[in-house]
Structure 1
Amino acid sequence: IDRATVPVVEGAYRLDDGRRCMERLMEEGTRPTAVFCGSDILAAGAIKYCHAAGIAVPREVSIVGFDNLEIAELTSPELTTLEVPARDMGRIAADYVLASPS
């Protein structure tokens, strides 16, 4: 994929920023058919924008979140989200460091 063709919009982890970022994406040239959000909070805001703008989720645009927070169950439709086992990753990294020869 040519990175120049993949728009990136940044915002703070707040519902309102998710709404604002989604609005920017949908108003630029070609509308995306899928959006990956860096958090479930941003994704919920993006879905809220789509509902207000009459954009059907997921028929017109698919939205994916990140974190697997409880808010993912409260959106309509329920949010597709990715869960990263951060605690397990930290434990494994610590075990690796502690097991390394000095």
Structure 2
Amino acid sequence: MRSWLMMTGGLLVWAAHFLGVYLISSLGDVAATADAPAWRGAALVFSGACLVAEGAVLWLLARRARVADDEGLAPFTIGVGLTGALAGLIGVVWQTTPILMAG
């Protein structure tokens, strides 16, 4: 189970970011408008938290990569996890860009 979490941690953060930003903008659209400053601020704060989480996943995997043994699946697991976390980081930044440009 730990190997799966290591491999999918960054992608899970990206998925949570997608769902969270979608939920925040949907609630903002029902309450006022999705580009109202309060809702944009909430989405930016949430995006910042997701960026910190992606950074933490990357840091933990990079730290674990330094001490991983060369036997078994540890290097493969860490490599897949790092790739997924980098893709997740790029995804979070990509999804945050329209929020930044909307104002």
TM-score, length-normalised on structure 1?
A: 0.31
Structure with higher helix content = 2
TM-score, length-normalised on structure 2?
A: 0.31
Structure with higher strand content = 1
Q: Which structure exhibits the higher relative contact order, with contacts defined as CA atoms closer than 8 Å and separated by 6 or more residues?
A: 2
